[in-house]
Amino acid sequence: MIVEQWVLSGREEGRQEGRHLGGKAFAIEHILEVLNERFQVNVVAMLTPALEAIDDLDVFKGLLRSASAAEHLEDFVRTLENCVNGTQ
């Protein structure tokens, strides 16, 4: 009985981790797509490491809004740096 509960608990944790990682990958992909489309610059190599350093899916929501609204790529990069450094 205890082993069964432990196994079921491990499975659920694995599912939650998978959903989180999938959501993170989805968010990163869409942020980069918006930036590439808006600014006609391939920013994947430049921004992917900073985006991958973020674990909070709510931060990604804000970054997606920022990517859509930023007047210049540099504005988005500043916002991203603030998120990574914990100042936003």
Q: Is 32 helix (H, G, I), strand (E, B) or coil?
A: helix
Mean pLDDT on 21-49 = 90
Q: Look at residue 4 in the predicted model and tell me its pLDDT.
A: 73
pTM recorded for the entire structure: 0.75
Task: List b or e across 37-74, with b for residues whose CB sees 16 or more CB atoms inside 10 angstroms.
Answer: ebeeeebeeebeeebeebeeeebbeebbebbeebeebe
Q: What are the Cα distances from residue 9, in Å, to 4, 6, 14, 23, 71?
A: 8, 5, 9, 21, 46
pLDDT (0 to 100) of residue 10: 61
